[in-house]
Amino acid sequence: MPTSNNQKGFQIFLLLSVFVVATCGLIYELVAGTLASYLLGDSITQFSIIIGTYLFSMGIGSFLSRYFKNNLIRWFIQIEILVGVVGGFSSTALYLLFEHAAYFKLILYLLVGVTGTLVGLELPLLMRILKDRIEFSDLVSQIFTFDYIGALLASIIFPIVLIPYLGIMKTSLLFGLFNVLVALFICLRFKSEISAVRYVIAQGIAAALFIIVGIFFSEDLLKIAEATAYADKVIYSKSSPYQRIIITKSSEDIRLFLNGNLQFSSKDEYRYHEALVHPGIMNAATPRKILVLGGGDGLAVRELLKYDSIESITLVDLDPSITQLFKSNPLLRELNQSSLLSPKLKIINEDAFLWIRNNKRKFDFVVIDFPDPSNYSLGKLYSLSFYKELKKIVANEGCVVIQSTSPFFARKSYWIVDETLLKAGFYTLPYHCYLPSFGEWGFVLASPTDHLSDDIKGTLPSLRFINQKTFKQLTYFPDDMSKLPSPVNTLNDQLLVQTFEKEWAHYTQQ
Amino acid sequence: MDRRSFLVKSGAALVGSTIVPLQSCQSPAEIKKQLSGPNRKFGHMLLNGKFPNHSEEITTPVVIVGGGISGLSAARQLSLNSVDYVLLELENQVGGNSSKGSNSVSSYPLGAHYLPLPGKHDPDLIAFLKEVDVITNFVNDIPVYNEYYLCFDPKERLYINNHWQEGIIPQNGILADDQREFVYFHELIRGFKELKGADGKEAFCIPLSFCSNDPAVRKYDKITFKDFITKHKLKSPYLLWYLNYCFADDFGGKMENISAWAGIHYFSSRKHSANQTTDLILTWPEGNGWLVEQLKKHSISKTISNSVVYNVTIENGKCIVDYFDGMQGVSKRLISERVIMATPQFVNQRILSGSLNRKLDYLKFKYAPWMVANLTCSANLENKRGEQLSWDNVIYGSNGLGYVNANHQNVNLYTDQRVLSYYYPLTGDNDKEERQLAYKRNVDEWYSLIINDLNKPHPEIDKFISDADIWIWGHGMIRPSVGFISEVSALAQASIENKILFTHTDTSGVSIFEEAFYLGTQAARKIIME
């Protein structure tokens, strides 16, 4: 009697193992498919290829199972542990690698292949382990029954319970843990038949602990994934309703990223901001009333405040999170010399286009420091309509400066900005300078009247970059950046956004 | 898009997906739903025909019945020429199929929502657009349009194969054979654009009265568009979908129930001058309701709204218009030299006196019922990859026409709330049955029909909707069925004794702003000239 009881318990135990193993196997497949859809888009293609690759790899695993001759139980357990770790950490690995891997798809399919192969080994090995212990027809029937039930369970709980409540990382880690636990239980059950069993148990416990730690910290993994995207330490990260703000710091450099795009590096931002502000000031007849659009970091304002003659500065930046941050953070205040706290400054957190359309006052000098025209929303701020509105608020003898992306990386885009300003009735003076952290960068100086000059006398002696001699050079465009015949960017035909996208694609493709 | 920002976004999507089930506890009762439509009380009064006898007689040179686009255009033309008139409007406000609504987030269209740039036959329309600053100036006689009113980029996107592609002609995942059929079709249309009849007139243009009467062209009105397509052996399901989409959009019909002439006209009547390479259109948050606001400035003091015209006839050489003033609760009689009937024929059938003996088969007039829903929505309508939220957002294979972002013409960068105008015509052959179906559905049934469709590209969008203003047009736009344009249109536009003129676009068979403006303006001009 005890033997038959034992036998029954043994069977139930093994079939439960099959059930868990099968569920885990399908979960890994679903995790890979879901993640590929998230990261690469086009869910039909991703799911289809992932499922195919996975099933094919299981076939490879089944084929390879014939080469395992001895110590089957031990092999089975070790494969289980390996499946648990590889499958469990698959989503984490893919997330972390997505940023850096040049051949992300290759890694994705390789990982799917490895997991599939290991899962494919499981059942053939298990059947061979059990073939002498259970009647063959029962064995086949029971193993496949539980295999398919497990698959059904996995496919139902994955979308309904797991993804909504656990998220994708915790799901794969949890099922990795189940795999390892099955290995450990089998290990304990077949203690006597396994050589160096303690060593195997130690392996299993280590893997289980490893995964548990992973589950515990999975909340932070996304942050780690984000942090690894930046070369330096992330010291500030916040999502405002408008953008994701990240500040990184190394021993001698502070960098600001908005939606992942570098805005400045403290090492060379002085070049950018001197070039942005001073040629325009020199070209405005009486720079008393100044408007800054964008530029919530206060760095352009810092440059403006070097002139005592300036009476008032109005800063319009959509995102209060940025202006608040650069007003209050000591490190950043050191950088902008507390410019945002100046009594001459008025900060307005509004949409620049709406504000400029409703504004009736005139300004002597306008600094425009918007993000690049990388989407149709931002592209509106580089349109003919915007520049027509702009022209209404610039004093006749005043001027405007516009950061206009790189004339080297996005040459056509740069000259579209210039052409659009000309079409709006401005006279323009294009110039560019070299920024070590960005490369060649372009600006356009524009005025309602024909008085702009590349000969700026009497620049402040305290400046490190801009002076009369330098600026003259900056207005010269070598042949590889020189003016192109360009179309005009309008709200109804945003050629700039399309051009910009194409031009930068050359430099961002991996 | 660069990969970094993408990672952040997809991360946010993951985090978002874990929160969503908690939000689903939100009671659907929080969504403010409203079902409305044109004034049916007045409509039923007309059917019953019981009105008090008129208590007052007023004499005026001209009466305009109906304040839709053609009535307003006629009124504008009369005002510009200092001819006195009275405009009677059934509804609370003028506008007809170009009416609008509004809430705290935006104004929005209840019907027509855009105007293609007018062509060379429309000098009056061009003058009107100049008057209201839609055209800012002319360069070498070519109009320069106000950038704020030209539809901004991105204009159209199509959700197909789980992906938003640019433009509404299917491209994403389309096989070469299908693409060849599109090329063939466009070639065919190019030919029709240039085609001229034996009378030297363009085969297809706007206004319709400029189109050639050559039987070689008019023969297309004798067959359905389906017959035409079959003759050309076109059968790509993507092309057929696209064609049906266009006909549902413009006629509330489908290939099987509209005339080939009307279908070809849709594609080949708009020819742009050399400097306009793309199909540009003008649009406003409230759609053509914006144009109504501009038009009605001319007639506001001469308009009597809430008035049910119940009898129009000619007695002793004078036109008689009897109407019930819904505000005062009394009937009045207008005696005039001329009447402009800017009302659809299903209404004229009830109010024109039988003694006028108008030879018109009213059964030939078929109007598709429409549902227009304006949804106030805070959802992010952009998928991880694919085209950005556009002006017109169409779902492939759906019975609805997709949605228009009413806030598209706003210049500001970020919007947390938008109004989406979702259009749904009932395109079945039997417009009467379709109308009954449209009226039978209650507000919740309509709402879930809309949400089920929008869920395809935007799962769980209903959690982000706060208001749903659902509007039913029992008689939407006229549907140009086979033979209508060649056999019925001219009869419908014929005046009665040169005293009662007909200007509604259902007399043309094509319900578009340009046609309404032209018919109204021409009728007024005819009165002014004499």
- What per-residue confidence (pLDDT) applies to B21? 33
Half-sphere exposure in the Cβ direction for B454 (13 Å, CA): 29
Cα dihedral value A290, A443, A295, A289, nearest 10: 0
* Given the residues A364, A369, A372, A418, the one annotated as active site: A369
- What per-residue confidence (pLDDT) applies to A250? 81
Number of other residues whose CB lies within 10 A of the CB of residue A247: 22
B11 pLDDT above the threshold of 50: no
- Determine contact, residues B305/B89, Cβ cutoff 8 Å: yes
Please tell me if residue A357 touches chain B, with a CB cutoff of 8 Å.
yes
Q: Is the Cβ pair B17, A164 closer than 8 Å?
A: yes
Residue among B7, B13, B153 minimizing CB distance to A229: B7
Burial class (CB in 10 A: 0-12, 13-18, 19+), B166: middle
Size of interface A-B (CB pairs under 8 A): 125
DSSP 8-state secondary structure symbol assigned to residue B141:
T
Enumerate residues 361 to 390 of chain B having a beta carbon within 8 A of any beta carbon in chain A. 383-386, 388
Residue among A260, A490, A497 minimizing CB distance to B5: A260
- What per-residue confidence (pLDDT) applies to B384? 64
DSSP 8-state secondary structure symbol assigned to residue B208:
G
Please tell me if residue A21 touches chain B, with a CB cutoff of 8 Å.
no
Could you tell me which chain A residue has the CA closest to the CA of B280? A492
Residue type, A308: D
Pick the most confident of A199-213, A215-229, B56-70, B383-397.
Answer: B56-70
Residue given tokens 């076109």 in the structure block: B234
Rounded average pLDDT over B8-35:
48
Q: Is B509 left (phi over 0), alpha (psi -120 to 50) or beta?
A: left
Q: Is the Cβ pair A490, B150 closer than 8 Å?
A: yes
Contacts B414 to A, Cβ<8 Å? 241-242, 318, 351, 377
Q: Is the Cβ pair A384, B147 closer than 8 Å?
A: yes
pLDDT in tens for each of the 510 residues of chain A?
344 556 667 777 777 888 888 899 889 988 888 877 766 656 677 788 899 999 999 999 999 999 988 888 888 888 989 999 998 888 888 877 765 555 777 888 889 999 999 999 988 988 888 887 778 888 888 888 888 998 899 989 988 888 777 777 888 899 999 999 988 888 888 888 777 788 888 989 999 999 998 888 876 766 666 566 666 777 787 777 788 888 888 878 899 988 778 899 999 999 999 999 999 999 998 999 999 999 999 999 999 999 999 999 999 999 999 999 999 888 899 999 999 999 999 999 999 999 999 999 999 999 999 999 988 889 999 999 999 999 999 999 999 999 999 999 999 999 999 999 999 999 999 999 999 989 999 999 999 999 999 999 889 999 999 999 999 999 999 999 999 999 999 999 999 999 998 998 777 643
Q: Is the Cβ pair B21, A261 closer than 8 Å?
A: no
Rounded average pLDDT over B419-431:
95
Strand partners, A261: A258
Burial class (CB in 10 A: 0-12, 13-18, 19+), B22: exposed
- Rounded alpha-carbon distances, angstroms, from residue A5 to A1, A8, A9, A11, A131: 6, 5, 6, 10, 19
Q: Is the Cβ pair B413, A244 closer than 8 Å?
A: no
Q: Give yes or no for a cis peptide into B207 (omega within 30° of 0).
A: yes
Contacts B153 to A, Cβ<8 Å? 376, 379, 491-494, 497
Kindly state the tokens that stand for A195. Answer: 């050589």
Enumerate residues 401 to 420 of chain B having a beta carbon within 8 A of any beta carbon in chain A. 411-414, 416
Please tell me if residue A492 touches chain B, with a CB cutoff of 8 Å.
yes
Percent of chain B with pLDDT over 70: 93
Residue among B163, B411, B416 minimizing CB distance to A42: B163
Q: Is the Cβ pair B150, A38 closer than 8 Å?
A: no
Please tell me if residue A259 touches chain B, with a CB cutoff of 8 Å.
yes
A368 vs B384: which has the higher pLDDT: A368
What are the pLDDT digits (tens) for B153-188? 999 999 998 889 999 999 888 889 999 999 999 999
Nearest Cα residue to A287 out of A363, A214, A206, A362: A363
Nearest Cα residue to B369 out of B257, B247, B250, B475: B475
- What per-residue confidence (pLDDT) applies to A132? 77
Contacts A384 to B, Cβ<8 Å? 147
Distance CA A152, CA A487 (A): 58
Distance CA A18, CA A147 (A): 6
Strand partners, B144: B137
- What per-residue confidence (pLDDT) applies to B272? 63
Contacts A490 to B, Cβ<8 Å? 147, 150
Could you tell me which chain A residue has the CA closest to the CA of B152? A492
Distance CA A52, CA A45 (A): 11
Kindly state the tokens that stand for A47. Answer: 């799911």
- Determine contact, residues A460/A278, Cβ cutoff 8 Å: yes
Q: Is the Cβ pair B153, A494 closer than 8 Å?
A: yes
Distance CA A479, CA A332 (A): 39
Q: Which of B20, B23, B151, B153 to mutate to test the interface with A (most CBs of A within 10 A)?
A: B153
Q: B315 Cβ partners below 8 Å, 6+ apart?
A: none
- Determine contact, residues A111/A32, Cβ cutoff 8 Å: yes
Contacts B6 to A, Cβ<8 Å? 39
B7 pLDDT above the threshold of 60: no
Q: Is the Cβ pair A492, B17 closer than 8 Å?
A: no
Nearest Cα residue to B358 out of B497, B480, B486, B511: B497
Please tell me if residue A159 touches chain B, with a CB cutoff of 8 Å.
no
Distance CA A272, CA A486 (A): 25
Pairing of strands B318-325, B307-315: antiparallel
> Which parts of A266-408 are beta strand (E)?
289-294, 312-316, 345-348, 363-369, 394-403
Please tell me if residue A509 touches chain B, with a CB cutoff of 8 Å.
no
B132/chain A closest Cα distance in angstroms: 18
A128/chain B closest Cα distance in angstroms: 41
Distance CA B375, CA B463 (A): 12
- Determine contact, residues A312/A287, Cβ cutoff 8 Å: no
> Which parts of A148-252 are beta strand (E)?
233-239, 244-250
Q: What sign for the dihedral angle of Cα B474, B476, B481, B486?
A: positive
Enumerate residues 134 to 193 of chain B having a beta carbon within 8 A of any beta carbon in chain A. 147-148, 150-154, 161-163
- Rounded alpha-carbon distances, angstroms, from residue B492 to B72, B299, B514: 20, 26, 18
Range scoring the smallest mean pLDDT among A53-67, A495-509, B234-248, B421-435: A495-509
Structure confidence at residue B28 as a pLDDT band (50, 70, 90): very low
Q: Is the Cβ pair B21, A381 closer than 8 Å?
A: no
Contacts B15 to A, Cβ<8 Å? 167, 222
Q: Which of A492, A502, A506, A509 to mutate to test the interface with B (most CBs of B within 10 A)?
A: A492
Range scoring the smallest mean pLDDT among A25-39, A196-210, B66-80, B483-497: A25-39
- What per-residue confidence (pLDDT) applies to B15? 34
Question: Apex CA A59: angle with CA A53 and CA A63, to 5°?
Answer: 145
- What per-residue confidence (pLDDT) applies to A455? 94
Residue given tokens 């993804």 in the structure block: A163
What are the pLDDT digits (tens) for B288-298? 999 999 999 99
B276/chain A closest Cα distance in angstroms: 11
Q: Is the Cβ pair A225, B152 closer than 8 Å?
A: no
Q: Is the Cβ pair A41, B7 closer than 8 Å?
A: no
A329 vs B336: which has the higher pLDDT: B336
Distance CA A164, CA A146 (A): 26
- What per-residue confidence (pLDDT) applies to A396? 95
Rounded average pLDDT over B340-344:
97
ipTM over 0.85: no
Residue among A167, A386, A492 minimizing CB distance to B280: A492
Nearest Cα residue to B373 out of B276, B438, B307, B315: B438
- What per-residue confidence (pLDDT) applies to A235? 78
Half-sphere exposure in the Cβ direction for A363 (13 Å, CA): 25
Distance CA B363, CA B345 (A): 10
The verdict on whether A369 is a catalytic residue reads: yes
Residue given tokens 């392996």 in the structure block: A203
Contacts B147 to A, Cβ<8 Å? 383-385, 490-492
Pairing of strands B392-395, B281-282: unpaired
Enumerate residues 454 to 473 of chain B having a beta carbon within 8 A of any beta carbon in chain A. none
Contacts A385 to B, Cβ<8 Å? 147-148, 411
Q: Is the Cβ pair B18, A490 closer than 8 Å?
A: no
Q: What sign for the dihedral angle of Cα B221, B227, B232, B236?
A: positive
Distance CA B301, CA B385 (A): 52
Distance CA B170, CA B161 (A): 10
Please tell me if residue B116 touches chain A, with a CB cutoff of 8 Å.
no
